[in-house]
Structure 1
């Protein structure tokens, strides 16, 4: 079958710069070529794997668009820009013709398509003295991991989706197949994670997938599936690896001062001057070369949510107040987010942090509710609070299981105030409707893009959405 995928390739002069992971990812894409012209040996296989990460960090995936879908659906941020249509997310009235969901959907499937090409082509490449079986396994394992993450993101955002496991003609040319169930989509995520785990080395790498990266995503996956024992197990594997992972201090140490790849980070996306992160431009004011269309919900404009009030409270936000700053712009006070701030737009995108593993384990222990679990859960919760320099909670502060789970929910909210956790946390725990005042359960999923429904009669829309 003549299967092709559009992937980025690089000049031969750049291909020699693969000695480090930063160099692996910090290359300048030049042109698009057919997969058949590129995945033929070790060098072209590296290019193809690099292309997977390139799409993952693209402007329409974690570089901005996908990140915004969940960020603006919750109550920690507000959109104040000129594209008023984006307020559909905050109002939970998103229509199927909203361009943002089409862009994110296409970028995720493009990422899957790139992964499919590596999974399909690399196993058949000849082994040489330089291109060992271990190297091949690593490339394939990375592709499986990223595909698992992509399907996980599709499932938690849109529900069950089309499972496309073979390369297609182009990233946006999906075959006419029916949607899988949500259960079936999550089953594919787990299968891909298992495959990745079997192939990847047990090394530490914060910008490329390893076995440890798989364990971290498995912890999140099992939390979503309410499989408490498994969530505890995989979270513990990362937490106990204290030589490589920790809650760095102070809170801002994992991102401030141009920090990257700290022990706080389990998996982050790397950007450089040739591949920039668009987020800074959207968060920073004009005085810093941005437009500040995204802002933390704050008391200045009496906005719903008001995350700023929580962050600047020394008993709640503590050191996490570093995430926001009050400035006077045009003689008016305004709050701005500081997670993305670098003048050269090379801010990392944080996908999995060590703090998440602590809070995953805390929640799973609280839900399991066996003997001793409450104390252990509170200890994990307090580890995150201690790093943020806020008062620790005592057992009397969380007298019931409900109290403890709410405390964990609240901690997640401020710990990941400007990251895309809040919406998904509220949806998976069944709290989104009451907390965000959403009338219909149909609005807990986004609509399938109208353009996709038009070209594929087998792709059915989510109930009650158009």
Structure 2
């Protein structure tokens, strides 16, 4: 998925945090390195296609390490096994505005927004017989979907953020935009998803957006906004599509050649475009660094036949110095280095619909959706009978189902349960800090309270 076109638009000026943590003490500052004239960047079918792939590449960059870490490490399933302060801050829910991972994630995400903005701005003006209208609409739909995904992630991480909707070609372009509210940010996500759904084709592609991809993200958006009827409607549209089904057994959704029928959207890697996330999970005896370790409570849940069922496959064990050591096994392709980044899965759509139906008082239907996920994992039906019991059961199911994905922290924040479950009672800490460098560069950008 690596393409050169967007390396011409933006480049990192400082060293980045690498997957092997060799440069974790450097701060990132995005600086335009070279610029293409506005009328030259996207001019024909080839450059339009390359620019769209470049937008996926930018999203891939923040989903490779930083976003999953920000989703699972502040929760209670995983601990950081090291001394690097920027990771310890995340693990201990004590972030600072100069945290390297926060800075890099924010930078990468706005680079992804800019890549999508360039496609949205440039593709409509392309007049090339090799780019038919249907394909032009598809490329635009993909760009709108990707921008929606990034703004959604920015919103759930930072709250309201600057809504940059046009290409940024100089340092000055993005200044003075100011922060929108979270409601306005989510409104923009909805507008982009609505446009994407109109433009995208139906299809079975799982590593590029189609109509169902936009609908799945929209179901998640409505869940976060507590718009229960809409969340149920859009999750149902995805679940009802014959292109998707829950993978059985559980582990097959993350087994090569990937792109299983459970996958609604994942980001693809290859040996030449590597995902080395496995390196952070594997013990040193297996060539890894063991930076992220499942905590004993999570290991017990996953290994409990009545709770984890076949999801125990997310764990593996090796012997080190005569003792069994358990490690996370979601990312396991150490030789091929082609584990995908998982963004949208059908199991989530079932649990979104289950939660929405529980909130709407449709308890039998909500129980059926929850049990569909449990049954796939070889776990018996839920014993929950009341709405409150069912909502807690869904929360616990999500903890196990998405144990090492970018999910747990954001779930507990959106439901207001981060204080009760994690002890993070200061709600100002439920949002990430805006990077210090960006505050210095743009006086109109405001910090989140508490930082």
Q: Same fold per TM (> 0.5)?
A: yes
Q: Is the 8 A contact 2:71 2:405 kept in 1?
A: no
Which deviates more from structure 2 when the two are superposed, residues 41-50 or residues 274-283?
274-283
Structure 1 residue 328 and structure 2 residue 319: aligned?
yes
Q: CA shift at 1:39, angstroms?
A: 1.0
Closer/same/farther in 2, CA of residues 230 and 272 from structure 1, 3 Å limit: same
Q: CA shift at 1:148, angstroms?
A: 0.2
Structure-1 residue corresponding to 2:351: 359
Which deviates more from structure 2 when the two are superposed, residues 78-87 or residues 337-346?
78-87
Secondary structure of residue in 2 paired with 1:206: coil
Tell me, which stretches of 5 or more residues in structure 2 are unaligned? 9-32
Secondary structure of residue in 2 paired with 1:89: helix
Q: CA shift at 1:289, angstroms?
A: 1.9
Q: 2:310 aligns with which of 319, 322, 336?
A: 319
Instruction: Quote the Cα distance in structure 1 between the aligned partners of 2:310 and 2:261.
Output: 18
Structure-1 residue corresponding to 2:401: 415
Structure-2 residue corresponding to 1:27: none
Q: Is the 8 A contact 2:5 2:50 kept in 1?
A: no
Q: Is the 8 A contact 2:270 2:338 kept in 1?
A: yes
Tell me, which stretches of 5 or more residues in structure 1 are unaligned? 10-30, 299-305
Structure-2 residue corresponding to 1:427: 413
Q: Is the 8 A contact 1:7 1:33 kept in 2?
A: no
Q: CA shift at 1:171, angstroms?
A: 8.6
Instruction: Quote the Cα distance in structure 2 between the aligned partners of 1:148 and 1:332.
Output: 47
Q: CA shift at 1:328, angstroms?
A: 2.2
Instruction: Quote the Cα distance in structure 2 between the aligned partners of 1:415 and 1:71.
Output: 12
Following superposition, which runs of at least 4 residues in structure 1 exceed 6 angstroms of deviation? Answer: none
Q: How does 1:51-450 map to 2 (within 5 A)?
A: 51-58=54-61, 61-128=62-129, 130-169=130-169, 174-241=174-241, 243-256=242-255, 258-298=256-296, 306-342=297-333, 343-369=335-361, 373-393=362-382, 397-450=383-436
Q: TM-score, normalised by structure 1?
A: 0.88
Q: Is the 8 A contact 1:168 1:175 kept in 2?
A: no
Secondary structure of residue in 1 paired with 2:208: coil
Instruction: Quote the Cα distance in structure 1 between the aligned partners of 2:262 and 2:212.
Output: 14
Q: Is the 8 A contact 1:8 1:48 kept in 2?
A: no
Secondary structure of residue in 1 paired with 2:6: strand
Instruction: Quote the Cα distance in structure 2 between the aligned partners of 1:47 and 1:143.
Output: 12
Q: Is the 8 A contact 1:282 1:294 kept in 2?
A: yes
Secondary structure of residue in 2 paired with 1:62: helix
Instruction: Quote the Cα distance in structure 2 between the aligned partners of 1:171 and 1:138.
Output: 30
Secondary structure of residue in 1 paired with 2:64: coil
Q: CA shift at 1:281, angstroms?
A: 1.2
Secondary structure of residue in 2 paired with 1:273: coil
Q: CA shift at 1:352, angstroms?
A: 0.4
Count of matched residue positions in the alignment of Structure 1 and Structure 2: 422
Instruction: Quote the Cα distance in structure 1 between the aligned partners of 2:298 and 2:110.
Output: 33
Secondary structure of residue in 2 paired with 1:287: helix
Q: Is the 8 A contact 2:145 2:192 kept in 1?
A: yes
Instruction: Quote the Cα distance in structure 1 between the aligned partners of 2:126 and 2:374.
Output: 49
Instruction: Quote the Cα distance in structure 1 between the aligned partners of 2:438 and 2:192.
Output: 25
Secondary structure of residue in 2 paired with 1:351: strand
Q: CA shift at 1:77, angstroms?
A: 0.7
Instruction: Quote the Cα distance in structure 1 between the aligned partners of 2:377 and 2:278.
Output: 24
- Deviation string for 1:36-65 (max 9, x for gaps)? 44411000111100100111111xx00001
